[in-house]
Amino acid sequence: MHHCAHARYVWNLAVEQHSHWQPGRAWAPNYVEQARQLTEARAGFDWLRAGSQTVQQQALRDFAQAVGNFFGGTHRKPTWRKAGQHEGFRQVAVRPEHVQRLNRKTGRVWVPKVGWVRFRWSRNVATGVKSFRVTRDHAGRWHLAFATIPDSIPAPGTGEVVGVDRGVTVAAALSTGDLLTCPALSPGEQRRLTRLRRALARAKRGSHRRRRVKTAIAKLAAREADRRRDWVEKTSTDLARRFDLIRVEDLNIRGMTRSARGTVQRPGRNVRQKAGLNRGILAAGWGRLVARLEHKAPGRVEKINPAFTSQTCSACGHCVPENRESQAVFRCVACGHQANADVNAARNIAAGRAVTARGGRALAGPANREPQLEPPSAA
Ligand SMILES: [Zn+2]
């Protein structure tokens, strides 16, 4: 599909522009500037002009979002998109009449400059969809996903406030003491994935077998992603229903407190980085959770600067790195208060405390820096 090639071309152009940017230099062109350049490029190239402008603009917007995520610390740097590997585009400003159901199993959607495209009606399409995304997976199957903004959930009116911390040992910790885990693959599925990965390494390039194994791996990955999405939906609905005010850590602030080397300033976060494999998925899940909360509880979500929340005592406010007995345990050296480390952090977030460093060590460094803890050997 031409749309994919156009979206990819525009995206890669944006990546190229951004790769020229270096710390200390002026900012690379932002979305507005790039959109202006796109208009110029469309005037100059017939093949680009023949494509859909909304698809091309959307690729730029997606890129701007990706850059934002990168500097927010939740995602990796946006990279080049390759033909055959990253095929997809997004269509916005969808009108209700552009999505039609033909029968129980099929529907069709109007894609500008392409026409009607039939798709298998596998899930309910909510009314009022504003955009959809078309992608092609490694197995060569096309997918169509509609994006909907969920209805807001009324506040319970109890005046209750909750703090949510992205946990080190769990997906999220609540100030109420709840520890939430995000479902992943079952041990059986995990074993199967390991077996498949080994099989993939042995399979000859270009062989049928290799393609079969790749498809099986992609299916497992999709199942895991489905479960995480499901968890995000349930958790965000639950929180929006139970609490009037939801305070979460502000990831953008965290991104800015990164040191030049790119290490995250929060003690213990390194350990999770080493877990590597799940980090990206978990981080993406967290960003999604916050986004969904903002949809479902508009005006009731507050972002809190997370600096020092993990080493400040939620009982007495004493703030020193020594409070952090281990990855999982918080024990205040001043008042003896002991709690799960993630829950203690969530309580500080719930308090909305503008936490400042009072310990001597913290004052030695820049104000927004937090001393690193040694990763515990037993983790
Ligand atoms: Zn204390």
Give the pLDDT of residue 4.
Answer: 66
CA of 315 from ligand 1 middle (Å) equals 5
pLDDT 10s digits, 177-233: 999 888 878 889 999 999 999 999 998 988 999 989 988 988 888 888 888 888 988
Structural domain boundaries in the chain:
1-148, 161-183+238-364
User: Mean pLDDT, the chain, as a whole number?
Assistant: 73
Mean pLDDT of 111-119: 70
Pairing of strands 179-180, 115-120: unpaired
Give the pLDDT of residue 360.
Answer: 28
Give the pLDDT of residue 276.
Answer: 42
CA of 306 from ligand 1 middle (Å) equals 18
CA of 143 from ligand 1 middle (Å) equals 53
CA of 328 from ligand 1 middle (Å) equals 17
Distance of alpha carbon 150 from alpha carbon 72, whole angstroms: 24
Q: Which of these, 78, 129, 90, 79, lies nearest to 1 by C-alpha position?
A: 90
Spatial contact of 313 and 141, defined as CB atoms under 8 Å apart: no
- Given a cut of 50, whether residue 26 has pLDDT beyond it is no
Report the run of H or E that residue 61 belongs to, with start and end: helix 53-72
CA of 162 from ligand 1 middle (Å) equals 20
What is the residue whose two structure tokens read 């031409």? 2
Mean pLDDT of 118-140: 68
pLDDT 10s digits, 133-159: 777 666 556 666 777 677 789 999 999
Amino acid occupying residue 187: P
CA of 9 from ligand 1 middle (Å) equals 55
- Given a cut of 80, whether residue 7 has pLDDT beyond it is no
Mean pLDDT of 287-301: 90
CA of 347 from ligand 1 middle (Å) equals 13
Give the pLDDT of residue 2.
Answer: 64
Distance of alpha carbon 35 from alpha carbon 187, whole angstroms: 47
Spatial contact of 327 and 170, defined as CB atoms under 8 Å apart: no
How far separated are the first and last CA of the chain, in Å rounded? 48
Enter the pTM of the model: 0.60
Mean pLDDT of 291-311: 90
More confident residue, 194 or 287: 194
Give the pLDDT of residue 178.
Answer: 93
Residues designated catalytic: 165, 249, 342
CA of 185 from ligand 1 middle (Å) equals 38
Give the pLDDT of residue 314.
Answer: 93
Per-residue b or e along 279-291, where b marks 16 or more CB atoms closer than 10 Å to that residue's CB: eeebbbbbbbbbe
- Given a cut of 60, whether residue 315 has pLDDT beyond it is yes
Pairing of strands 106-111, 301-304: unpaired
Give the pLDDT of residue 57.
Answer: 73
Mean pLDDT of 261-273: 41
pLDDT 10s digits, 60-90: 777 777 666 666 555 666 666 666 555 666 6
pLDDT 10s digits, 319-362: 999 998 888 899 999 999 999 999 999 999 999 864 444 432 23
CA pseudo-torsion sign 326, 332, 334, 336: negative
Distance of alpha carbon 203 from alpha carbon 216, whole angstroms: 13
